[in-house]
């Protein structure tokens, strides 16, 4: 079995990689930090690990990841702190491409194959922020709300269609 993990160079993504390696998954690790990914690859010597360096703030990079996998972990993301009027639009668009567009694109592409096979797992990493709204982090809250609600909707569709795909 093979898992793709975005945002795998640190934090939650790195820990998920370690856990899935313990379960015997071959891994495709993706982030902007090649050095950190290669260090993690050395640590996870019990499974096959492929390292891919991409920047999800560029929307086209997510399309380059498409291949057959059994487990997708959409973990890549970041926040842009500051008052909504003060945060540069370009930074917010990078956030939207990373936190929303990439999650949407990868979920859509991989879910289609998983539904046809009637097996697979997708973990879209959200945040407590996905259930809230708050000042000085407006775009981050909104992006995580998108992730939470999209995931809930897809989960319900898979359940109603009796698909053995866990979202």
Integer angstrom CA distances of residue 145 from 3, 54, 88, 104, 109: 24, 24, 21, 13, 21
- Give me the DSSP letters along 70-123: SEEEE-------S-TTTS-HHHHHHHHIIIIIHHHHHHHHHHHHHHHHT-EEEE
Check 121, 140, 141, 146 and give the catalytic one: 140
C-alpha 54 chain-centroid distance: 13
Q: Are the CB atoms for 69 and 61 separated by under 8 Å?
A: no
Our answer to whether residue 146 is catalytic in this structure is no
> Catalytic residue positions?
140
């Amino acid at each position: 079995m093979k898992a793709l993990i975005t945002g795998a160079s640190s934090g939650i993504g790195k820990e998920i990689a370690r856990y899935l390696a313990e379960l015997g998954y071959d891994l495709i690790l993706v982030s902007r930090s090649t050095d950190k990914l290669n260090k993690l690859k050395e640590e996870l010597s019990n499974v096959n690990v492929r390292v891919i360096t991409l920047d999800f703030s560029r929307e086209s990079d997510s399309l380059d990841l498409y291949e057959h996998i059994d487990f997708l972990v959409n973990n890549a993301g970041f926040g842009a702190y500051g008052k909504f009027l003060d945060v540069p639009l370009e930074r917010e668009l990078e956030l939207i491409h990373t936190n929303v567009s990439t999650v949407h694109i990868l979920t859509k592409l991989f879910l289609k194959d998983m539904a046809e096979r009637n097996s697979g797992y997708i973990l879209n990493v959200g945040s407590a922020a996905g259930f809230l709204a708050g000042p000085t982090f407006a775009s981050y809250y909104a992006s995580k709300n998108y992730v939470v609600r999209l995931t809930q909707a897809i989960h319900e569709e898979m359940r109603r269609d009796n698909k053995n795909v866990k979202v």
